[in-house]
Chain A
Amino acid sequence: MRFMLLFSRQGKLRLQKWYTATAERDKKKMVRELMQVVLARKPKMCSFLEWRDLKIVYKRYASLYFCCAVEEQDNELITLEVIHRFVELLDKYFGSVCELDIIFNFEKAYFILDEFLMGGEIQDTSKKSVLKAIEQADLLQEVRKLPHNMLCF
């Protein structure tokens, strides 16, 4: 996966994760263009489109568009499943997630994403273990200072 974007129907970016080194200026341009292209699509249309030399897989959940850019040899259908899995994780964590949750807790959304995907690939195919790890990390955040002999799980 090259990058993942979350944006609202009004064209506001809610999350962006880039897995390849891209200049800031180029990122902005690509985001703008891609948002335009995806937002122009009608509801019943195909979830896949070709944009520049990339394959774009997107899906709309309520008011948010989840949009991934994958390589030529990647499987688009499984990418749809990856997006769905991420939504399920957010849902479980926030309890019936909505766009506002992601706006006001954007850093947590990133933490969840970083526990789920790394370098554009899935880390763990088990929903349960991803959620457990996030829970544990959150607990750790409450502790003021890390003790030296922290137990590993």
Chain B
Amino acid sequence: MSPSVRLQEMIRVIRSARTQGEERGVIQRECAAIRAQFRQADNGGRSHNLAKLLYVHMLGYPAHFGQMECVRLIASPRYNEKRVGYLGAMMLLDENQDASLLITNSIKNDLAHSSQYVQSLALCTLACMGSAEMCRDLAPEIDRLLRASSSYIKKKATLCAVHIVRKVPELGELFTPAARALLAEKNHGVLHGAVILITELCERNAQTLVQFREAVPELVHIMRGLVTSGYSPEHTVAGISDPFLQVRILRLLRILGRNNDTASDAMNDLLAQVATNTDSSKTAGSAVLYETVLTVMDIKSESGLRVLAVNILGRFLLNNDRNIRYISMTSLQKIVSTDHNAVQRHRGTIVDCLKDQDASVKRRALELSLALVSAINIRSMMKELLLFLSTCPPELKSHAASGIFNAAERYSPSQRWHIDTILHVLITAGADVRDETVPNLIQLITNASQLHCYTVHKLYRALVADISQQPLVQVACWCIGEYGDSLLQGDCEETEPIQVTEDDILDALETVLQSHMSSPATRGFALTATMKLTSPRQRGEGGRIRSIVSIYGSCMDVELQQRAVEYNALFKKYDHMRAAVLEKMPVMDRSSMGQTNGESGGGGVQELEPTKPKQPEMMVAPQPASQVGGGEGGGAVFLYIVYYGMVTMDPSVAPAAVTVYDKSGVVLKLSCERPLDASQTITLTATNTSDHDVSSLTLQAAVPKNVQLQMKAPSGDSLPARSSAVVTQTVLLNNPNKVGPGWAGTPG
């Protein structure tokens, strides 16, 4: 066709450009020429120039200067120019451009044009890029075309009306009468468009929906005609009569039958007929069956029909075509909560799909499998799921891991099984589990006291094998710290014995500490575990541990450094407190945990283990105190008290008064009262047994953000000599979230 030669020539030249730069050069030249042509008067080649520009636009180059040319061409009396002009409008103008409004008038004129092909262009453009304003302007025109025109125009006007309703839902009322009448049409194209229009109207307006319910018998009649009619060469695809129209009608029936018994009854027989008679060997038939199944499951259908539908889905699951398997699983997912037992029957096939090559199918199979886990099948399902976890694509790992955890939590047959499962997941996919897994697992382990020996053995083995999975390493370190004594004992009834010496354990912990794979939080766990091993029940030998801990006193990480310094202090000055501080952790209650493990925590004194200690543990790391001066006015005494632990809720505990400072005759004691809810009262008692008075005694306290502090007035600010009087001060702490580490108080 000769007129397009110049366009094709340009395309050829562009394609023959060898480099991106060359192509750009060619295009720049062409665009310059096109721009010049646009400025000239009409020379008969306008449509070709615009076509060239559209090609350039498709390659990704800017073409906004063609917008006005589109507007001009649309107004041309020549069909070929109109055609390209409208194409340009659809490609270059969208409702965000101002120029789009300029074509409204042209469209209006063309809608009334005597040539139906011109009308078609206008309708198509309006349906493609019509803005809300344009739609409002032209809606009456469209309505007119819906009622009185040829089938060719009617079908296009219907789809244009669909676009208008989508853009401006209020205009739906305008089209409702015409839409109703269109159902009587014989032309498949018009019918198809009409069904779509009615679907849109019903979806947006409840009253229209009620109105169209009366059309259900008519729709059923049309559908029946399609299903039982003979071969119609024009509309048949793979033996199915007009599958496009069938699918559309089924979808409309779904919307009309939803939540309505009468409508659902009216379509019941038809749906059964379609479900049984449709040949699903090709995609067209499967598409119709699929839509039928969706409709049956969504309306108020008889139970027999529902069973039929689920069976169809089950048949789809066995289909060789991967697409059909995928579709069937998507649908089963939608009904698994309502028709659980029916779907359970197909569990075997679904689990097999976990091994499919295709990632989309795998994802669907995973979702379904997780939904199908129940108390009865938990063991076999978990085997499959764990197998899947080891071979699944990385993007599914995290989802699979959390799904497995949820399932294990709900249905685990025994604690040991539960712990084993979680360990297995951590070993296989440790990097992808969520943060709260570690505290959850720790809590689980502490609760299973009879399994401590078994657990620590397993974890030790896992730790020695691989230290790259952070959550696993963290849990392992924690357990070794707590239950290291069982490890040293060597024998454990539930697992093979292993000879572990203290040095072996320390080796393992040191490896964790030094490895560059360990995150700061993991190192924290390891350091504390090392420290815990010095507790007398662990018979830990202090020397090696001390040296390990003191190395970290100069670590770059502030958190680790602080811990190391404090632990060092425990060795040096507070050896008498060491045993108490390093006691075994008590059994935890789920409700006390409001925090994820150290990874995500911010600054401040980090809580290493989410814990609810039976007694407030206190540690004191003194800093050089300036001397309590002999004489009046004395210097200030600074104390740095670090208080670990949370407010305890256990009423049976009688909190002891702890001496926090005892020097030169001045003794300061902090005692905690029985706490109520989240608050704690602390009383500071200061006594002076020296020969000199101490004056200007003040207490300063600082607390982390989550704790509220209220200091009452002290009873006095000077301590007379020889214990003749004491000074007390009360401090109220409120920890509304029951989380949080400690606070620091300084008596000044």
Interface residues of B in 183-200 (CB under 8 A from A): 188-189, 192-193, 196
Shortest distance from the beta carbon of A61 to any chain B beta carbon, whole Å: 15
For B291, give its contact among A78, A111, A122, A144 (CB under 8 Å): A78
Residue among A13, A73, A76, A152 having the largest count of chain B Cβ atoms under 10 Å: A152
B279-294 CB contacts (< 8 Å) to partner A: 283-284, 286-287, 290-291, 294
The verdict on B377 contacting chain A, using a C-beta distance below 8 Å, is: no
Q: B14-67: which residues lie under 8 A (CB-CB) from chain A? A: 15, 51, 54-55, 58-60
**Is residue B670 contacting chain A, with contact meaning CB distance below 8 A?**
no
Is B128's CB under 8 angstroms from A141's CB? no
Given the complex of chains A and B, what is the CA–CA distance between A14 and B59 in angstroms? Answer: 8
B327 touches A105 (CB 8 A): no
Tell me the complex Cα distance, A78–B79, Å: 34
Residue from A123, A125, A146, A152 within 8 A of B245 (CB atoms):
A125
Binary per-residue interface labels of chain B (111-143) against chain A in the complex, 1 for a CB within 8 Å, 0 otherwise: 000111110100110011101000000000000
Instruction: Give every chain A residue within 8 A of B60 (Cβ-Cβ).
Output: 13, 28
User: Does A52 make an interface contact (CB < 8 A)?
Assistant: no
**Does B8 sit at the interface, judged by CB under 8 A?**
yes
Q: Which residues of A contact B323 (CB under 8 A)?
A: 46-48, 76-77, 80
B156 touches A123 (CB 8 A): yes
Confirm or deny: A82 has a beta carbon within 8 angstroms of a beta carbon on chain B.
yes
Q: How far is the CA of A129 from the CA of B8 in the complex (A)?
A: 29
Q: Which residue of B lies closest to A138 (CB)?
A: B1
Q: Is A126 an interface residue (CB 8 A)?
A: yes
The verdict on B411 contacting chain A, using a C-beta distance below 8 Å, is no
| Selected contact of A140 from candidates B12, B79, B244, B361, CB within 8 Å | B79
Does B4 reach chain A (CB closer than 8 Å)?
yes
Is residue B612 contacting chain A, with contact meaning CB distance below 8 A? no
A19 to B251, CA, bound (A): 21
Q: Is the CB of B287 within 8 A of A46?
A: no
> At the interface, yes or no: B78 with Cβ under 8 Å from chain A?
yes
B95 at interface by CB-CB < 8 Å: yes
- Binding site of A, secondary structure by majority: helix, strand, loop or mixed? mixed
A-contact 0/1 string along B357-391, CB 8 Å cutoff: 11111000000000000000000000000000000
Name the one of B77, B83, B244 contacting A82, with C-beta atoms under 8 angstroms: B244
Question: Residue on A with the closest CB to B59?
Answer: A13
Q: Which residues of chain B come closer than 8 Å to A15, judged between CB atoms?
A: 58
Residues of A within 8 A of B193 (CB): 121, 123
In whole angstroms, what is the CA distance A103 to B234 when docked?
30
Instruction: Find out whether the CB atom of A124 lies under 8 angstroms from the CB atom of B188.
Output: yes
Contact B123–A118 (Cβ < 8 Å): yes
For B166, list chain A residues within 8 Å (CB): 119
Distance in Å: Cβ of B490 to nearest Cβ of chain A: 52
> Which of B243, B244, B286 has most A Cβ within 10 Å?
B244
B54 to chain A, nearest CB (A): 7
Interface string of B85-113 (1 = CB under 8 A from A): 00100100011100000000000000000
Q: Could you say which residues of chain B place their CB within 8 Å of the CB of A125?
A: 188-189, 192, 235, 242, 244-245
* Complex Cα–Cα for A126 and B235 (A): 5
Distance of B401 from chain A, by nearest CB (Å): 20
**CB 8 Å contact bits of A119-153 with B (1 = contact, 0 = none):** 10111111111000100110011011110111011
Which B residue sits closest to A140, measured CB to CB?
Answer: B79
Contact B87 A22 (CB under 8 A): no
Q: Which of B151-166 touch A at CB < 8 Å?
A: 152, 155-156, 159-160, 162-163, 166
Minimum C-beta distance from A126 to chain B (A): 4
A13 touches B58 (CB 8 A): yes
Is the pair A122, B55 in contact by a Cβ cutoff of 8 Å? Answer: no
Q: Does chain A have a CB within 8 A of B355? A: no
A127 to B287, CA, bound (A): 19
User: Does B11 sit at the interface, judged by CB under 8 A?
Assistant: yes
Binary flags per residue of B218-260, CB closer than 8 Å to A gives 1, else 0:
0000000000000000110100001111010001000000000
Tell which of B4, B192, B234, B327 touches A122, judged by Cβ atoms closer than 8 Å: B192
- State in angstroms the CA–CA spacing of A22 and B59 once bound together: 18
Q: B150 at interface (Cβ–Cβ under 8 A)?
A: yes
B326 at interface (Cβ–Cβ under 8 A)? yes
CB of B72 closer than 8 Å to a CB of A: no
Q: Which residue of A lies closest to B149 (CB)?
A: A152
A107 in the interface, Cβ–Cβ < 8 Å? Answer: yes
Contact A46 B360 (CB under 8 A): yes
Contact B58 A16 (CB under 8 A): yes
A46 and B358 within 8 A (CB): yes
What residue of chain B has the Cβ atom nearest to residue A24's Cβ? B94
A149 neighbours in B (Cβ, 8 Å) = 114
Contact A118 B160 (CB under 8 A): yes
Of the A-B pairs whose beta carbons lie under 8 Å apart in the complex, a sample of 30, sorted by A's number, is A16-B58, A17-B128, A45-B357, A45-B358, A46-B326, A47-B323, A73-B251, A75-B247, A75-B251, A75-B294, A78-B243, A78-B244, A78-B247, A81-B244, A82-B244, A85-B237, A106-B54, A118-B128, A118-B160, A119-B166, A121-B162, A122-B244, A123-B155, A125-B244, A126-B189, A129-B234, A136-B117, A146-B115, A150-B115, A152-B114
B residues whose Cβ falls under 8 Å from a Cβ of A: 4, 7-8, 11-12, 15, 51, 54-55, 58-60, 77-80, 83-84, 87, 90, 94-96, 114-118, 120, 123-124, 127-129, 131, 150, 152, 155-156, 159-160, 162-163, 166, 188-189, 192-193, 196, 234-235, 237, 242-245, 247, 251, 283-284, 286-287, 290-291, 294, 322-324, 326-327, 357-361
Beyond known contacts A77-B323, A77-B327, A103-B11: 20 more, CB 8 A cutoff: A16-B58, A21-B131, A45-B322, A46-B322, A46-B326, A46-B361, A48-B327, A75-B247, A77-B287, A78-B287, A81-B243, A81-B283, A115-B120, A118-B128, A119-B162, A121-B162, A125-B189, A128-B234, A144-B78, A149-B114
